[in-house]
Amino acid sequence: MNNDPNTKQHLGKLIDMIKDIKVAMLTTMDEDNCLRSRPMRAMEVKPDGHIWFFTGYHSGKSHEIQQDAHVNLSYSDPDNENYVSISGKAQVLRDQQKIDELWNPAMKTWFPKGKEDPNVGLLKITIDKAEYWDAPNSVMVHLYGMVKAALTGERPDAGENKKINL
């Protein structure tokens, strides 16, 4: 992890921002060097900078990750004006102990044979870099910022923006 003493604090805020967002967009590079994104539901976000997802072990995204492990995760929470972009490296794993730990009954929708299905895989994303935008989410704060900007010519406070290098 980066030696910056604020890194752990910023990582904690980032994790807090994404822990309740149900869906992230996962971007990989396909065999034609084109970016592909698809929605994914995170099963666990760890304070050590690891994010876990279920995936088909033999899926297209698994093949793409085996060719190029660099991925991006994008999170959006417009109701709270929170946005996060995470760059990292992905691993496709078949770890039955971790599958058992993360499994919930809703996963049968994608894996009808259950958690022992040999096609049940895990994606472990290790965060390399991240950036987040945490804008003021109150209508009054936005209105005040716009009025202040109109009167003074100063840009309104767009909230907190941090880059994190792990």
C-alpha 27/C-alpha 76 separation (Å) is: 14
What tens digit of pLDDT does each residue of 104-148 get? 999 999 999 999 999 999 999 999 999 988 876 544 344 444 444
What pLDDT is stored for residue 146 in this prediction? Answer: 46
8 A C-beta contact, residue 104 and residue 114? no
What is the average pLDDT across 85-103? 96
**Alpha carbons within 13 A on the beta-carbon side of 1:** 13
**CA-closest candidate to residue 95, choices 41, 52, 38, 42:** 52
Q: What is the mean pLDDT of residues 147-156?
A: 51
Strand residue runs (E) in 1-150 = 24-29, 35-40, 42-45, 50-56, 70-77, 82-93, 120-134
Tens of pLDDT, residues 17-36: 998 898 999 999 999 999 99
